[in-house]
């Protein structure tokens, strides 16, 4: 039901779907206890600043569903951004579809945060009862290039002078493995590119316009 102080509110029900054409100030009053909700228009969440302890601004708790249909994927959160957006003619310097701005943490007096993270994933999916996960990933980019502007650390913090730092006492760094034919099919190989040649079982380094074998001294 609309909150008395919210003014007019439109809610229509079609099957098990509910549509709200405008949102009341008390947003929770407009949400049903069950069933999907269609929100028409933009949604902005901007709570007032508090001087007391604050809990999560947004908390989504997944239910422990049972009797799910076999062989059908169920995504707890799905952002469908597949629509086509058409612009007037002109150039765009940068277009970002999903953005997270870094927070600023401050204290009244000198204090330390040992590790501060803007985006954190606890780990890969966990196999429960009777489940086998063949390949589990905490993060996967299915296609397209990925850009990391800052330093990257794998297994530990990145060194200040390194673009990529790999830290491990049990694992090594594995270069791409390919045949010599596959190596020669690489389009416009960059100088400094390194691959492992499975035809000769040697590391190869791209120097100028040719491949050279990396040999031990």
Residue 202 to residues 186, 196, 205, Cα–Cα distance (Å): 17, 6, 10
Residue 120: which pLDDT band, with cuts at 50, 70 and 90? very high
pLDDT of 1 over the 70 cut: no
CA-to-CA distance for 3 and 168, rounded, in angstroms? 57
Q: Which is higher by pLDDT, 25 or 138? A: 138
SS3 content of the chain, % helix, strand, coil (to 5): 5, 15, 80
CA-to-CA distance for 123 and 3, rounded, in angstroms? 41
Phi (first) and psi of residue 212, to 5 degrees? -120, 150
Phi (first) and psi of residue 181, to 5 degrees? -65, -45
Q: Is 35 left (phi over 0), alpha (psi -120 to 50) or beta?
A: left
What is the average per-residue pLDDT within 174-184? 98
What is the average per-residue pLDDT within 75-90? 94
pLDDT of 47 over the 90 cut: no
Question: How does DSSP classify residue 29?
Answer: H
What is the average per-residue pLDDT within 29-44? 67
Maximum Cα–Cα distance across the chain:
82
What is the average per-residue pLDDT within 64-68? 94
Half-sphere exposure of 160 (CA within 13 A, CB side): 0
CA-to-CA distance for 98 and 149, rounded, in angstroms? 17
Which range has the worst mean pLDDT, 34-43, 112-121, 125-134?
34-43
Q: What is the share, in percent, of the chain residues with pLDDT greater than 70?
A: 82
What is the average per-residue pLDDT within 50-62? 86
The residues spanned by each domain of the chain are: 1-40, 168-217
Residue 23: which pLDDT band, with cuts at 50, 70 and 90? low
Residues 204/194, Cβ–Cβ less than 8 Å: yes
CA 79 to chain CA mean position, Å: 11
Dihedral sign for Cα atoms in the order 153, 156, 162, 168 = negative
Residue 97: which pLDDT band, with cuts at 50, 70 and 90? very high
Residue 100: which pLDDT band, with cuts at 50, 70 and 90? very high
Please give the model's pTM, rounded to 2 decimal places.
Answer: 0.75
Which range has the worst mean pLDDT, 13-17, 140-144, 187-191?
13-17
């Amino acid at each position: 039901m609309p909150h008395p102080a919210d003014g007019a509110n439109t809610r229509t029900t079609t099957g098990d779907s509910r549509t709200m054409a405008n949102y009341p100030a008390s947003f929770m009053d407009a949400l049903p206890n069950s069933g999907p909700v269609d929100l028409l228009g933009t949604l902005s969440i901007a709570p007032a600043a508090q001087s007391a302890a604050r809990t999560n601004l947004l908390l989504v708790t997944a239910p422990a569903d049972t009797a799910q249909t076999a062989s059908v994927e169920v995504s707890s959160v799905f952002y469908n951004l597949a629509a086509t957006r058409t612009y007037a003619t002109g150039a765009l310097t940068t277009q970002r579809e999903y953005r997270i701005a870094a927070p600023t943490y401050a204290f009244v007096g000198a204090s330390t945060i040992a590790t501060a993270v803007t985006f954190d994933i606890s780990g890969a999916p966990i196999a429960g009862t009777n489940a086998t996960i063949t390949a589990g990933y905490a993060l996967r980019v299915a296609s397209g290039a990925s850009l990391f502007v800052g330093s990257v650390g794998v297994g530990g913090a990145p060194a200040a002078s390194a673009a990529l730092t790999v830290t491990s006492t049990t694992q090594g760094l594995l270069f791409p493995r390919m045949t010599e034919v596959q190596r020669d099919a690489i389009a416009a190989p960059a100088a400094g590119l390194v691959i492992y040649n499975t035809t000769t079982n040697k590391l190869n380094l791209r120097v100028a316009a040719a491949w050279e074998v990396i040999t031990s001294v």
